[in-house]
Chains A and B, each alone.
Chain A
């Protein structure tokens, strides 16, 4: 028997054993680093699907949607979702252009939803809302009084919406902007993401 004939099988066995023992340390070294860090923001309809969003809104009627935030920043985020409402002529947040250059709507926030979301986790909350408004026949416009959001009454006095003949609607836009806490400045900065719902305020 020549021992050299067994050299290759012996080397293979030792190499396999060494790889097995080294697997814990290799699993730490051979990890692809995360390169994309971002936040997701979404609105789902009443059936928890991206469909059946309310459009024709009736005064005093309750509607439910789901607002969600997904954190992929590599750390837990401290978010504020600012609830805002606008008519057709009021400013909308910028949705075009590269991230870093988009600005928020200058409209005042009606309500601030606070959310802490862990890394690689999602946070979701149901939003039940209704509008109180009246129709001013003389001016031909809808005049808003309040928005009730999850039981909190938010003042909408001064908000009006004129008739849009092209689209045959009294336009209303409820939108949600994300702001994120910046530990360096110890303040919130616009996170350049927003979602919204477009309504036709019906008179029935």
Chain B
């Protein structure tokens, strides 16, 4: 009985040693795949923040520069993953996510600032300009009325 157990234990050890590299490999592939997928999602998410800021009228050139740097790292991560370099893929994916740290805050600050500028611009240029035009027309009409009245009084006095 003891010898049977001994042989089973030995067989289990041999199987474990034989399978260990592929198990490690598979775990590495899984982790790297997850890291690359997370980086892809993060890049798409940050793109949406940039898009929102742009729609609010912000100058997003700095955000696009950061996104392009992160995109370059994402491309490298995907390539490394494709050729089975899972360590490299994980490193590039982490660098990609690192490059996008604080992106949301920066995009929101730009968006809020642009929204405020837009409101100010609306107040000064649109409302101010429209009110000014009405004032000029009404003022012109009042001045003309005043001049006409004054001229009429002067003519009556002369007559």
Are A and B associated in one complex? yes
Residues of B within 8 A of A18 (CB): 133, 136-137, 140
Residues of A within 8 A of B79 (CB): 111-112, 152, 154
| Chain B residues with a Cβ under 8 A of chain A | 43-44, 47-48, 50-51, 54-55, 60-61, 64, 67-68, 71-72, 74-76, 78-79, 83, 124-126, 128-130, 132-133, 135-137, 140, 144, 147-148, 151
Point out the residue from A7, A10, A22, A116 that lies within 8 Å of B130, measured CB to CB.
A22
* A76 contacts B51, C-beta separation under 8 Å: yes
* A24 contacts B125, C-beta separation under 8 Å: yes
B91 vs chain A, min Cβ distance (A): 15
Q: A116-B64, A117-B64 are in contact. Are A111 and B75 (CB under 8 A)?
A: yes
**Contact of A21 with B by CB under 8 A:** yes
| Chain A residues with a Cβ under 8 A of chain B | 1, 3, 7, 10-11, 13-14, 17-18, 21-25, 28, 75-76, 78, 111-119, 121, 123, 152, 154-155, 181, 183, 186
- Nearest neighbor of A7 in chain B, beta-carbon distance: B144
* A113 contacts B75, C-beta separation under 8 Å: yes
- Nearest neighbor of B152 in chain A, beta-carbon distance: A3
Point out the residue from A1, A14, A24, A75 that lies within 8 Å of B136, measured CB to CB.
A14
* B61 contacts A25, C-beta separation under 8 Å: no
Point out the residue from A25, A76, A152, A154 that lies within 8 Å of B50, measured CB to CB.
A76
Q: A17-B140, A22-B129 are in contact. Are A114 and B54 (CB under 8 A)?
A: no
Listed A/B pairs (22) with beta-carbon separation below 8 Å: A7-B144, A14-B137, A17-B140, A18-B136, A21-B135, A22-B129, A22-B130, A22-B133, A24-B125, A24-B129, A25-B129, A28-B125, A76-B51, A76-B54, A78-B44, A78-B67, A114-B72, A115-B71, A116-B68, A154-B79, A181-B44, A186-B44
* A116 contacts B67, C-beta separation under 8 Å: yes
* B74 contacts A17, C-beta separation under 8 Å: no
A8 vs chain B, min Cβ distance (A): 12
- Nearest neighbor of B133 in chain A, beta-carbon distance: A22
* B54 contacts A75, C-beta separation under 8 Å: yes
Point out the residue from A10, A28, A112, A123 that lies within 8 Å of B140, measured CB to CB.
A10
Residues of A within 8 A of B130 (CB): 22, 25
Q: A75-B55, A114-B74, A118-B61 are in contact. Are A3 and B129 (CB under 8 A)?
A: no
- Nearest neighbor of A14 in chain B, beta-carbon distance: B140
- Nearest neighbor of A29 in chain B, beta-carbon distance: B126
